[in-house]
Amino acid sequence: MGLANSEESIDARKVKEFFDEIESRLEPNKPIRAKVLGWRFSRQVQEYVKILQKYVEDDGSPLIGIELIPLRSTRFRKRILQRYRDMEDGDFCLRFPEPPVIGDIRVKKVGPLEYEFEAVDAMSTNEDEWLVNCQWDSDYQVAHFVADRDYILSRQRVKSKVRGAGDRFEAILIAWHKLAKFGTYTVACKVQDKLVGETVFSKTGVT
């Protein structure tokens, strides 16, 4: 019953209408079990599901069992892959990546015309993923990002915290640059995550 638009959430009214229709076709007090798939679920839907789960049978088991399954979740991918075991690279194909986010660019003056830039609160928004690269453009023109030569590939090898897993690359979110002259400048940062999602964030300042 999910909406086609991945940016829209399923609201409580639609979920209620759906279950009212199901209930009208079943015997009175017959237990209902259902899984609802959707891109997003509003907070009202989640609260509505909690209310329904309070109705229980004589033995204490829920009268209405609803499971909300986001299409971007690991749970959804596992269900599909269990059903279609012959899918090649199925786990990757079933991912619906969203772009990473960057909260801000922190600017710190470290010398005459010399600055340190840091991408603050930069992170992947995809489940179980992380940023693998960070690029910088010290002379950013709107909608035309050109990475500085020293920051085309800005990452470091990090030992995995998971036992038995190999090392991985993570983005370095700090850069240094000396401006050519005093005046107004615009610097931009581009981050990329493991699913090839990317985001550009820019900031304008005055020396």
- Hunting for tokens 């038995």 — which residue is that? 164
Q: Answer yes or no: do 110 and 86 share one domain.
A: no
Q: How far apart are CA 189 and CA 196, in angstroms?
A: 16
Q: How far apart are CA 189 and CA 102, in angstroms?
A: 9
Instruction: For the chain, report the end-to-end CA distance as a whole number of angstroms.
Output: 54
Residue 123 lies in a domain: yes
Q: Answer yes or no: do 18 and 70 share one domain.
A: yes
pLDDT tens digits, one per residue of 7-54 = 666 777 777 777 777 777 777 767 777 777 777 777 788 787 787 777
Residue 4 lies in a domain: no
Q: Answer yes or no: do 199 and 108 share one domain.
A: yes
Q: Answer yes or no: do 44 and 76 share one domain.
A: yes
Do 75 and 69 form a contact (C-beta atoms < 8 A)? yes
Q: Answer yes or no: do 174 and 120 share one domain.
A: yes
Q: Give CB contacts under 8 A, 24+ apart, made by 30-33.
A: 31/57, 31/61, 31/62, 31/63, 31/64, 31/65, 32/63, 32/64, 32/65, 33/65
Residue-number span of the structural domain to which 187 is assigned: 104-206
Residue 3 lies in a domain: no
On the CB side of 79, how many CA atoms lie within 13 Å of its CA? 10
Q: How many residues are there in the chain? A: 207
Q: Answer yes or no: do 17 and 65 share one domain.
A: yes
Q: Over pLDDT 90: what percentage of the chain?
A: 39
Q: For 13-41, give the DSSP string.
A: HHHHHHHHHHHHTS-TT--EEEEEEESEE
CATH number at 119 reads: 2.60.40.10
Q: Cα–Cα distances in Å, from 121 out to 13, 106, 202?
A: 35, 10, 14
Q: Is the dihedral of CA 140, 144, 145, 146 positive or negative?
A: negative
Neighbours of 35 (CB within 10 A): 12
Residue 197 lies in a domain: yes
Angle 109-110-114 from CA coordinates, rounded to 5°: 80
Final residue of a domain: which of 62, 93, 124? Answer: 93
Q: Answer yes or no: do 71 and 135 share one domain.
A: no
pLDDT tens digits, one per residue of 125-148 = 887 789 999 999 999 998 899 999
Q: Answer yes or no: do 74 and 142 share one domain.
A: no
pLDDT tens digits, one per residue of 90-135 = 555 556 677 899 999 999 999 999 999 999 999 988 877 899 999 9
Identify the DSSP state of 44. Answer: H
Residue 99 lies in a domain: no
Q: Answer yes or no: do 152 and 185 share one domain.
A: yes
Q: Answer yes or no: do 53 and 22 share one domain.
A: yes
Residue 174 lies in a domain: yes
Final residue of a domain: which of 93, 125, 140? Answer: 93
Does the pLDDT at position 164 exceed 60?
Answer: yes
Q: Answer yes or no: do 68 and 112 share one domain.
A: no
Residue 190 lies in a domain: yes
Final residue of a domain: which of 60, 93, 126? Answer: 93
What total of structural domains would you count in the chain?
Answer: 2
Q: Answer yes or no: do 44 and 138 share one domain.
A: no
Does the pLDDT at position 59 exceed 60?
Answer: yes
Average of per-residue pLDDT values in the chain: 81
Residue 15 lies in a domain: yes
pTM (predicted TM-score): 0.59
